[in-house]
């Protein structure tokens, strides 16, 4: 499917985008990474630069792009609440203008385009676990809305381009994914807890830690994204890609303490506004339509992620606690 195909990955220098570039190259594709390096790092793709089938372009997807490719993976958008709330207007722009520009490119080229959507379209869900036919429960004026509503509008645009222009679209709704190449100061829970544990700092639990999330290891997620792009043209999704193994944030903290052997204490802090109480994907559709299900258990994925951060912190002064 991907052999000798020219694939554009927006957000290609980010956490998921860099793993996707690698996986596409491994399947014989030519890969063009487009990124403005807002939360991405050139070091994430540095090891790919010598590959003659790989090219990296600095570009902001809110500006139109004219290139020739055979398929588009639209992954550009900060995903951590800390980063997407840093400049909320820019977050809405990257989701909406970025989608319009990439859909326009796909329309001109008549090529398939896959959108990295999110479980955040379900907001603070009243249906549990979340199935794709649930319309969601999102506060449209809260601090998470720039991301949630931006991603919802992007889905609307994808389906309107399909209806209006018969564009071959694909939409995956990604649930919390973790693994190597998350930023150490990313603000997301897995990276925060691991970095805090490795530094022997207190583990910061927001609220009482009873809220739940379901964590998917990055390799499983990329496998799901590739299967989705390779699926029959009439299967558009949206389809949930995530690991249904649900745990509380407190359980996650205790597991990371146990696996790192840290002596960190738990520090309880205020729960951010509109923080979803629970989250678990129903992956019946991914199983039946894509033959996909996650294979990496949380304990094993955490072990690989801990090893990554351990090596990263050993190379730098990052291991030392910040000077107050």
Catalytic residue numbers read 147
Q: Does 206 bind ligand UDP (CB under 6 A)?
A: yes
**Is residue 188 part of the contact set for ligand UDP (CB under 6 A)?**
yes
Closer by beta carbon to ligand NAD, 117 or else 264: 117
Does 189 participate in binding ligand NAD (rule CB under 6 A)?
A: no
**Rounded Cα gap, residues 7 and 274, in angstroms:** 36
x/- track of binding to ligand UDP for residues 63-82 (CB under 6 A)? ------------------x-
The C-alpha atoms of residue 136 and residue 322 are separated, in whole angstroms, by: 39
User: Would you give the binding string for ligand NAD spanning residues 156-185, x where CB under 6 A is met?
Assistant: ------------------x-xx--------
In the list 91, 177, 192, 231, the residue contacting ligand UDP (rule: CB under 6 A) is: 192
Question: What is the C-alpha separation between 32 and 34, in angstroms, rounded?
Answer: 6
Binding mask 232-271 vs ligand UDP (x if CB under 6 A, - otherwise)? -----------------x----------------------
Q: Please, which residues have CB within 8 angstroms of residue 229's CB and are 6 or more apart in sequence?
A: 1, 71, 73, 112, 114, 170
32 binds ligand NAD (CB under 6 A): no
Going by C-alpha positions, the residue among 99, 81, 61 that lies closest to residue 145 is 81
Count, residues near ligand UDP per rule CB under 6 A: 13
129 preceded by cis ω (within 30°)? yes
Phi, psi of 37, deg, nearest 5: 65, 30
Binding of residue 125 to ligand NAD (CB under 6 A): no
Minimum gap (Å) between residue 20 Cβ and ligand UDP: 20
- Could you say which of 40, 81, 123, 150 contacts ligand NAD (CB under 6 A)? 40
How many residues are given for the chain?
324
Segment contacting ligand UDP by CB under 6 A, of 70-78, 107-115, 203-211, 229-237: 203-211
Question: Could you tell which of ligand UDP, ligand NAD, none binds residue 62, using a CB distance below 5 to 8 A set by kind?
Answer: ligand NAD
- Is 196 or 243 the residue whose CB approaches ligand NAD more closely? 243
- Which of 7, 21, 71, 205 is close enough to bind ligand UDP by CB under 6 A? 205
Among the listed residues 2, 17, 45, 226, the single contact to ligand NAD using CB under 6 A: 17
- Is-contact 86 144, C-beta < 8 A? no
Residue ranges of E strands in the chain: 6-10, 30-35, 54-58, 71-74, 113-118, 169-174, 177-178, 203-206, 212-214, 216-217, 239-241, 246-248, 266-269
Asked if 61 interacts with ligand NAD (CB under 6 A), we say yes
Residues 3 and 24 sit within 8 Å (Cβ to Cβ): no
One DSSP character per residue, 16-28 reads: HHHHHHHHHHHTT
Q: Are 85 and 145 in contact (CB under 8 A)?
A: no
Which of these segments, 57-65, 136-144, 271-279, 280-288, binds ligand NAD (CB under 6 A)? Answer: 57-65
| 199 binds ligand UDP per the rule CB under 6 A | no
* Positions in 158-177 near ligand UDP (CB under 6 A): 176
Task: For residue 217, give both structure tokens.
Answer: 């290891």
Dist. CA 297–CA 294, nearest whole Å: 8
Q: Which residues bind ligand UDP (CB under 6 A)?
A: 81, 176, 188-189, 192, 204-206, 211, 213, 249, 272, 275
């Amino acid at each position: 499917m991907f052999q000798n195909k020219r694939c554009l990955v927006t957000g290609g220098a980010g956490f998921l985008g860099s793993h996707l570039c690698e996986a596409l190259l491994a399947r014989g594709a030519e890969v063009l990474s487009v990124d403005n390096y807002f939360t991405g790092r050139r070091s994430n793709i540095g090891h790919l630069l010598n590959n003659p089938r790989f090219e990296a372009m600095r570009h902001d997807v809110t500006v139109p792009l004219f290139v020739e490719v055979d398929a588009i993976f639209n992954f550009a958008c900060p995903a951590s609440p800390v980063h997407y709330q840093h400049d909320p207007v820019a977050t809405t722009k990257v989701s909406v203008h970025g989608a319009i520009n990439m859909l326009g490119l796909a329309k001109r080229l008549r090529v398939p385009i896959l959108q990295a959507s999110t479980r955040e379209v379900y907001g603070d869900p009243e249906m549990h676990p979340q199935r794709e036919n649930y319309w969601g429960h999102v506060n449209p004026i809260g601090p998470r809305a720039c991301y949630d509503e931006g991603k919802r509008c992007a889905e609307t645009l994808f389906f309107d381009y399909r209806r209006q222009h018969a564009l071959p679209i694909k939409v995956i709704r990604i649930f919390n994914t973790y693994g190597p190449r998350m930023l150490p100061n990313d603000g997301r829970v897995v990276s925060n807890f691991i970095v805090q544990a490795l530094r022997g700092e207190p583990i910061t639990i927001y609220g009482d830690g009873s809220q739940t999330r379901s964590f998917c290891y990055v390799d499983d997620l990329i496998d799901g994204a590739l299967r989705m792009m390779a699926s029959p043209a009439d299967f558009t999704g949206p389809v949930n890609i995530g690991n249904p193994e649900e745990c509380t944030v407190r359980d996650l903290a205790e597991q990371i303490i146990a696996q790192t052997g840290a002596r960190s204490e738990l520090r309880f802090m205020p729960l951010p506004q509109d923080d979803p109480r629970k989250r678990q994907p129903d992956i019946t559709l991914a199983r039946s339509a894509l033959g996909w299900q996650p294979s990496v258990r949380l304990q094993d994925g955490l072990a690989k992620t801990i090893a990554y951060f351990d090596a990263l912190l050993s190379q730098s002064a990052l291991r030392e606690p910040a000077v107050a």
